[in-house]
Chain A
Amino acid sequence: METLTLLAGGFAVALTPLNIGLLLLGCFAGTLIGAMPGLGPVNGVAILIPLTFAFGFDATSSLILLSSVYFGCMYGGRISSILLNIPGDEPAVMTTLDGYPMAQQGKAADALAISGVASFVGATVSVIGLSLFAPLLARMAIYFGPADYFALYILAFVTIGGIAGVDPRKTLLSAMIGLMIASVGIDPISGIPRFTFGNYHLYDGVDPIVALVGLFAISEILVLLEKKAADRTAPIGITSWLPDFRTIWMTRWAVLRGSLVGFVSGVLPGAGASLGSVMSYSVEKQASDKDGTFGKGDPRGVAAPEAGNNAASGGALIPMLSLGVPGSGTTAVMLAMLISLNVQPGPLLFERQPDLVWGLVASLYLGNVALLILNLPMIGLFSRLMMVPTWALMPIVAAVSFVGVFSISNSVFDLEMMIFFGVLGYLLRKLDVSLVPLVLGLLLGGDMERNLRRAMSISDGDWSVLIASPISIALYVLTAVFLCLSVWLTMRDHKRTQSRVTEG
């Protein structure tokens, strides 16, 4: 009951005229960004964070704006996966499987409407789950001591790369590079400047926002430059924008199954939205692909991954809000937003700023409603905007990134830093190293060190304090299990590709 009251309070916050305006603006701008080539949710939000800052809204309003941009981007990404067969972001990959064939058969409006409705239902399921479980986890997290937080951060770094992704060593190294960068600047406890080499610009440390914009937006320009300037195929035209409601109703079970599967995989560490949509798609395929229609334009093949991906991104908010530890790329960007707005997520957030937490939850919900209503009549406009050529779009993105970063501190040094991170991001992407752990290391490094040092001052320098509580032992065991599992999976995949090479 208490949760319902809080949620109602959240809706009251989200429904103020300013916040509704920001929500609609964010959804619209986000869809635009997401539908454009070369811009996904992560770089869209990264570019907008410093600008939001400069406008001086309070934390709740900024968060509402940025998260509606985020959801708008995801929706825009779907438009390009369905009409162009180009996924706007990672979770949208599964949507192309059945969405593009549907568009080819002239059912683009149906596919877009299904993805909208499925996302809405997925988000609803995850908001209900979030309202139920996040306060529980936050209550539990009060028992976490500094040593337990240290263990939790280690778990976060190990799991962020996902379970069967690239080489786990690269993911861990990426996190460590982030931690190294995080320790640059004046040490907050002893006041000694570290790794600044006499450069007073570095005394404040590296601003995560500057790093984020460089890593994602500037590196994207460098990645685009090495591709051949291929012409994009024209998107499939839409004959009518009014969808067939019977087709949507047909997908109801797929949507529900997808939402549940997605939510569970979102809450698990290291999974996030991509795994949510993959899992939902494969579960749905096993459950209802009796005639072999999946992959050839089955509406249920659009509904399940879309519901799953939205449910997962809501589910991934649970560890992020209640523990302050994001489990996915999405939530890592959201954490960057929160930290740059001077909000420290964690168990105390629910007690100290219930307005913010529940306002965010309510705005996630309203964002999905707004997207559903906003997008059906406007798809024509968005699909025309997708034709903006890359050469015209990316220079403007660069100019906006510069303005955003420059507006933080008016310093040219920050601009140079952003370009440096752009080059670093490009090199790491070429080497198949995920950038999200680096951002996470940069964001959490300060806290991780503070917790370690706090634990050690409590124990007066006795290292065994790190494994003294049952919580930290459990977390280390979990970390070890996860590490073994991902090393084993990588080795297995490696052997498989090797044998395939020798066979071929």
Chain B
Amino acid sequence: MSVRIAGVAVFMIAALYMYFGKQYSADFGDVLGPSVFPMVVGIPAMLLSATLVVFPSGEVSWPDRGHMARQLLALAILLGYAFLLRPLGFPLASFGLIAGIGTVLGGAPLKAVILGAIMSPALWALFDQVLGLPLAFFGYWFTQ
């Protein structure tokens, strides 16, 4: 069933891709124009995904609710890191990331917090001080 749904999804995406791709046009200098290649890719993609809907292959075993909840939690932490990296600065944001992901992955929370507390300043020192990649120690929430 999952393969069928994925086939439908890819079919829809390829159809939308072709719908938007058809509108691009250039008037001069280019024989083929910017819209032909999307057709060259989109048509076989639609055909192939359609065959996956009709003749699916393979079975997928999705994780149970508990594991899926952990995956969603991990995703939320990753996204949170992306949004908070600038406001908080690298060490604080990475502390949250390491402690959070470590706990979600099954580490003891206290140990994960200690790991984060050690590793986040260590990584900052490694990248910013030793290797010369500029990473803000404090984000703009603290400096403004």
- Chain A residues lying within 8 Å of B79, measured Cβ to Cβ, are 416, 419
- Chain B residues lying within 8 Å of A189, measured Cβ to Cβ, are 26, 30, 34
- Given known A194-B38, A391-B106, A422-B78, contact A180–B45 (CB-CB < 8 A): yes
- Chain A residues lying within 8 Å of B85, measured Cβ to Cβ, are 402, 406, 412, 415
Counted as pairs of residues, one from A and one from B, with CB atoms less than 8 Å apart, the total is 191
- Given known A194-B24, A391-B107, A395-B102, contact A226–B67 (CB-CB < 8 A): yes
Q: Does B10 contact A (CB under 8 A)?
A: yes
A140-169 interface code vs B (CB 8 A; 1 in, 0 out): 000000000000000000000000001101
Q: In angstroms, how far is the closest chain B Cβ from the Cβ of A408? A: 10
Which B residues, 80 to 96, have Cβ-Cβ distances below 8 Å to chain A?
A: 81-83, 85-86, 90, 94
- Chain B residues lying within 8 Å of A169, measured Cβ to Cβ, are 48, 51-52, 57
Inter-chain contact A403/B60, CB cutoff 8 Å: no
Contact with B115, one of A180, A194, A395, A406 (Cβ below 8 angstroms): A395
- Chain B residues lying within 8 Å of A422, measured Cβ to Cβ, are 78
Inter-chain contact B48/A172, CB cutoff 8 Å: yes
- Chain A residues lying within 8 Å of B48, measured Cβ to Cβ, are 169, 172-173, 176
Distance between Cα atoms of A390 and B102 in the complex (Å): 8
Q: Does B75 contact A (CB under 8 A)?
A: yes
Q: Does A389 contact B (CB under 8 A)?
A: yes
Inter-chain contact A54/B133, CB cutoff 8 Å: yes
Contact with B37, one of A166, A406, A453 (Cβ below 8 angstroms): A453
Q: Does A369 contact B (CB under 8 A)?
A: no
- Given known A169-B51, A395-B105, A431-B58, contact A190–B33 (CB-CB < 8 A): yes
Q: Can you list 5 contacts pairing A with B, beta carbon distance less than 8 Å?
A: A173-B52, A190-B33, A225-B67, A396-B123, A398-B81
Residue ranges of A at the interface with B (Cβ–Cβ < 8 Å): 51, 54-55, 166-167, 169-170, 172-173, 176-177, 179-180, 183, 187, 189-192, 194-195, 218, 221-222, 224-226, 229, 389-392, 394-396, 398-400, 402-403, 406-407, 412, 415-416, 419, 422-423, 427, 430-432, 448-449, 452-453, 456-457, 460-461, 494
